[in-house]
Structure 1
Amino acid sequence: MFLKKIACLTALSVSAIASFTYAGSAHAIGFTYDPGSYRQASATSEGVFSKNVNEAGYTTFDFNNGQIPGNDRVKYSFSSGSYSSTAYSGQTGIYSDVWAPSGAHAEVNQSNYLAVFQGNDTIIESKGSDAFTYFGFDAGALSGGNTLKFFNGATLIKEFTYDMMNAAASVGASQHGGQKNGFFEFFSQDKSDTFNKIVISQTEGGGFESDNHTFRVTSVPEPSVTIGMLAVGGLFLRKRKNQKLQSAKESA
């Protein structure tokens, strides 16, 4: 369907499961890689999923229905205005698009997936005061220009590049000319690094293919609510202090 970039750096030798932490100023986002799991053991032609895919509290979008993903807590938007012109890449027949992210053992993915092409972004945001504490996706075939950015408001928390992801990946698929695939997970390690926006970009020729996006969303109190809670807490402490002073005077 589309010409795929052929650039590929030599991968570092790593174990099947790798874990890293990338820190930037006061923020740190955990990063793990795994060849991936299947939503159902018998379904190996839809790429791989988070090991949490069937657990409560996690939401997965698999792109299979060809509709813009999202729900009441997660919003997808596209820099070129529409799903079809910016990102979406559908399967029109078995093996019709070999660049779909592969299975854990490099099985061909026959399902629909997301592809972001040069000069375009897919933007994923939490709604309202919610924030993400976890994002995982099946990525591949990895190649130069694949870029993933995490934001808290307008603040860039961390950028992950092709070099970082490719160094961790271990599954090379023959249908991709040996380019790497696998499931990548990004997660908050404390309250300072929750994120509410993820930007998937392709900065060089070709595309950034991904599938089976999985999220964990948490509620973050509005500033006014937090201030109110602090005020109530302060009044309670002041009241307790006054009670202790009064008791001390009565005992004297």
Structure 2
Amino acid sequence: MHRITTSPLPYLAALLAAITALLYQDKADAAIIVSYAEAPGQYNSTLSHTQVFDFNTLPTGDLTDVTWHTVGTYDHLTVRPADIYGGAGDPSGTQYALQGAGGVNTTTLHLDQATGYFGLWWSAGDNQNVLAFYSGETLVARFTTQTLLDAILPHTEYRGNPQTGSNSGGNYGEPYAFVNFYAQAGTTWDNIVFTNATGSGFESDNHTLRDHTWGAYQGEAGRVPGRHVALVDGEQITLLPADSNTGTGASQIPEPTALLLGTLALPLLGLRRRQSRH
């Protein structure tokens, strides 16, 4: 019997082509890491190189075309005075933004340029609050706060208004925390949409932006700050493992490319074994 041997080169070429295509596909994928502040009662981001909009110089009520100097414009916005549900800062809070609960249902922040980080103080949180990030008209990520609610509520130190004044401890059934949205490699957005179309309210304050995501500046290394909650890619929300909320070092989110490379390597190993048998 004559044994026919085949060269592995065609298989290698096909594998390399597939790997290359998947590498480019990963770069095109848009994903955002969601985390919230390690410290309860933390009203602001700990990042440097940020710009903050706190709504304190605006009139209260329903507003249109609100300019955030050098950053962008809110198309429609409701501003409320501090109360038990919203308004960051001690002792008794300041003005805050609202969607739903008698205010506008949807607010779009149109940014002057693409950015890779957004944070906000999220108060009186409920599961009807929705944040969506767009690049032009393309959805980057849509995050519904039920996931965030499930992650925060077991930590009782985040329940109730953290202010030191008359609102202290009020509305204990709902969480209050500073929430971060970090773009992953190559991801940016230029429109952020805040929505609450039900009877509840989406209360937020201290909207915070910077051009670049975590790791862009000196001293930023390892995992992104805060308690990790989810990885959001378009409509898909992937919960992060509980142990990614503790310790230091690189984020424990698996790299899709690395996983795919490992998977594609298996046929190659099998091919090598078949070629070595006599």
Paired position in structure 2 for 1:90: 81
Number of residue pairs aligned between Structure 1 and Structure 2: 166
Paired position in structure 2 for 1:70: 68
Paired position in structure 1 for 2:173: 178
Tell me the percent identity. Answer: 27
After superposition, residues 204-219 of structure 1 pair within 5 angstroms as 204-217=198-211
- Deviations 1:154-196 (CA, angstroms, capped at 9, x unpaired): 11111111211212324000311320110111021111x2111
Query: Under a length normalisation based on structure 2, what TM-score does the superposition of the two structures give?
Result: 0.54
Paired position in structure 2 for 1:201: 195
**Preserved contact between residue 29 and residue 186 of structure 1 (Cα < 8 Å):** yes
- Deviations 1:46-93 (CA, angstroms, capped at 9, x unpaired): x700012xx3x3100111112535012322111xxxx4xxx21124xx
**Preserved contact between residue 36 and residue 51 of structure 1 (Cα < 8 Å):** no
Deviation at 1:108, TM superposition (A): 6.2
Distance in 2 between residues matched to 1:108 and 1:204, nearest whole Å: 30
**Preserved contact between residue 36 and residue 48 of structure 1 (Cα < 8 Å):** no
Q: Give 1:125's match in structure 2, choosing from 87, 106, 110.
A: 110
Paired position in structure 2 for 1:99: 85
Distance in 2 between residues matched to 1:108 and 1:35, nearest whole Å: 21
Q: Is residue 44 of structure 2 the alignment partner of residue 49 of structure 1? A: yes
Q: Give 1:32's match in structure 2, choosing from 32, 35, 42.
A: 35
Distance in 1 between residues matched to 2:92 and 2:38, nearest whole Å: 14
Gaps of at least 5 residues in structure 1 are 1-22, 38-43, 92-96, 219-252
Q: Is residue 75 of structure 2 the alignment partner of residue 59 of structure 1? A: no
Distance in 2 between residues matched to 1:108 and 1:182, nearest whole Å: 16
Deviation at 1:204, TM superposition (A): 1.8
Distance in 2 between residues matched to 1:159 and 1:89, nearest whole Å: 25
**Preserved contact between residue 134 and residue 215 of structure 1 (Cα < 8 Å):** yes
Distance in 2 between residues matched to 1:63 and 1:208, nearest whole Å: 15
Query: Under a length normalisation based on structure 1, what TM-score does the superposition of the two structures give?
Result: 0.59
**Structure 1's 36 and 111: CA in aligned 2 closer, same or farther, altered over 3 A?**
farther
Alignment-mate amino acid for residue 60 of structure 1: V
Distance in 2 between residues matched to 1:101 and 1:51, nearest whole Å: 18
Point out 4+ residue stretches in structure 1 off by more than 3 angstroms: none
Paired position in structure 1 for 2:245: none
Indicate the SS of the match to 2:69. Answer: coil
Paired position in structure 1 for 2:143: 160
Paired position in structure 1 for 2:95: 112
**Structure 1's 75 and 197: CA in aligned 2 closer, same or farther, altered over 3 A?**
same
